[in-house]
């Protein structure tokens, strides 16, 4: 593959907009620095960036382009190019325009036309993989029924869905052992690991959900899918241009031939011309009536392509939702387990409180009879011992009565 940083669409630009250095590389200045005393100063939003151009033949080259050049060549508004700006983070988007398809899928940011792909150059592995795989398919594989723009879009969807699915599987392999360990052993370390994985799961779910919603939106809107049929629109545009030229020549010949004739023949010539134009108008009306059926045939390959990858991304989303449900079930199990432990602690605290009450009663009686006061109990040598025995039996009876009451009220387990 050809690797160059050189002139791109230089025929459509004046020579003053190109500057060459000693190494033979060309840069688009776009007259940005004209009228300023500081060389190399760029206006905000008009700086040149590195892009990768991939043609229909599978050859690729690295070029340096500014926004104005891309907007003129692809007939795109500036807000569409802002979606491809790596300085900003936008959700996944696929936009169909008059002459191009703007694709922003994860790290793959490109502009697809009917005969080339302009890919945002980046150090990310997905960009290099997209470039090499697309060039390989265009050079080695036979062209199927899909137009060029559909093949480029298919590869972008394939790499995006594959990347997201691999991330989901990696997360799934990491989080299941942690959840099982947390279910068996509740610790601060395991809880922190699950919290971190849950945040990663939420972010990944949002990315997958956005890709799925974008594909579903395209499938539901036939107009957007029709806008993405760039090859068909270019072919029809060329056909209409040829028909207009042919009709102009025919009308010119009819008028030139009828000019030197008599008034009667000139009137008949004008009538013939009107009939010709009326037949052209009828054919255009017939073509518009058949446009809806032709539109369905044109978008059928794209609809099948989007449906295939919609199933893939929907399966990935279902895996994420199942993983989230497993996390929620584990959290519910942990909450039940913690609630059970809390109930056991409350029961133990209740038993301890009852025992403390009984011990306080026994200590109070022993303290009262341990004071120096006159009573007939002390007339007997073993009188104080009998007081302690009777008090102990009464406290034990009180304790067991409290236990029976708690079990009767189902506060304690039977």
What pLDDT is stored for residue 376 in this prediction? 75
What pLDDT is stored for residue 221 in this prediction? 87
SS3 52: strand
Q: What is the dihedral of CA 228, 232, 238, 244, to 10 degrees?
A: -100
Ordered by start, the domain boundaries in the chain are: 49-223, 339-409
Average pLDDT value for residue range 173-197: 91
Q: CATH number for the 49-223 domain, one of 3.30.450.40, 2.40.128.330, 3.30.2000.20, 3.40.50.300? A: 2.40.128.330
Spatial distance between the Cα atoms of 400 and 407, rounded to a whole number of angstroms: 11
Instruction: List all residues 6 or more positions away from 23 whose beta carbon is below 8 Å from its beta carbon.
Output: none
Cβ pair 110, 118 in contact under 8 A: yes
Q: Report which DSSP code applies to 257.
A: H
pLDDT digits (tens, 9 = 90+) for 222-275: 888 888 888 888 887 766 554 555 455 545 554 444 444 444 444 454 455 455
| Residue 71: C-alpha distances to residues 30, 32, 52, 78, 88 (Å) | 13, 16, 16, 7, 19
Neighbours of 278 (CB within 10 A): 10
What pLDDT is stored for residue 408 in this prediction? 87
Q: Are strands 18-20 and 26-28 parallel, antiparallel or unpaired?
A: antiparallel
pTM here?
A: 0.68
Average pLDDT value for residue range 281-293: 45
The alpha carbon of 12 is separated from its chain's Cα centroid by a whole number of angstroms, namely 37
| Residue 66: C-alpha distances to residues 9, 18, 26, 48, 396 (Å) | 12, 12, 13, 4, 93
Q: How many helices (H) and strands (E) does the chain have?
A: 10, 9
| Residue 267: C-alpha distances to residues 237, 264, 274, 278 (Å) | 34, 5, 11, 16
Spatial distance between the Cα atoms of 385 and 373, rounded to a whole number of angstroms: 16
């Amino acid at each position: 593959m050809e690797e160059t940083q050189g002139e791109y669409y230089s025929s459509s630009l004046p020579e003053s907009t190109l500057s060459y250095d000693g190494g033979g590389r060309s840069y688009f200045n776009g007259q940005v620095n004209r009228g300023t005393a500081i060389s190399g100063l760029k206006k905000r939003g008009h700086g040149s960036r590195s892009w990768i151009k991939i043609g229909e033949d599978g050859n690729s080259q690295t070029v340096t382009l500014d926004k104005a050049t891309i907007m003129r060549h692809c007939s795109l508004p500036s807000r569409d190019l802002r979606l491809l700006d790596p300085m900003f983070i936008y959700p996944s988007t696929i936009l169909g325009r008059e002459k191009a398809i703007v694709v922003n899928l994860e790290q793959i940011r490109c502009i697809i036309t009917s005969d080339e792909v302009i890919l945002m150059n980046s150090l990310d592995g997905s960009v290099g993989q997209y470039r090499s795989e697309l060039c390989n398919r265009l050079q080695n594989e036979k062209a199927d029924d899909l137009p060029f723009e559909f093949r480029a879009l298919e590869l972008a969807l394939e790499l995006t869905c594959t990347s997201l699915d691999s991330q989901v599987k990696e997360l799934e392999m990491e989080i299941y052992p942690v959840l099982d360990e947390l279910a068996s052993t509740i610790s601060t370390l395991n809880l922190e690991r699950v919290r971190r994985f849950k945040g990663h799961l939420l972010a990944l779910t949002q990315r997958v959900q956005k890709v799925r919603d974008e594909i579903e939106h395209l499938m539901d809107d036939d107009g957007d899918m029709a806008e993405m049929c760039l090859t068909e629109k270019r072919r029809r545009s060329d056909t209409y241009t040829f028909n207009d030229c042919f009709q102009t020549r025919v009308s010119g010949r009819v008028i030139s031939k009828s000019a030197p004739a008599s008034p009667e023949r000139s009137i008949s010539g004008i009538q013939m011309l009107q009939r010709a134009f009326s037949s052209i108008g009828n054919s255009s009306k017939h073509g518009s009536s058949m446009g809806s059926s032709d539109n369905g045939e044109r978008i059928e390959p794209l609809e099948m392509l989007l449906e295939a990858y919609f199933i893939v991304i929907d399966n990935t989303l279902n895996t994420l939702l199942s993983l989230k449900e497993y996390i929620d079930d584990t959290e519910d199990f942990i909450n039940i387990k913690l609630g059970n432990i809390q109930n056991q602690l409350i029961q133990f605290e209740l038993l301890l409180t009852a025992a403390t009450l009984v011990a306080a009663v026994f200590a109070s009686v022993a303290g009262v009879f341990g004071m120096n006061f006159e009573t007939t109990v002390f007339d007997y040598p073993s009188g104080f011992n009998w007081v302690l025995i009777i008090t102990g039996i009464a406290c034990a009876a009180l304790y067991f009565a409290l236990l029976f009451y708690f079990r009767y009220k189902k506060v304690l387990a039977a």
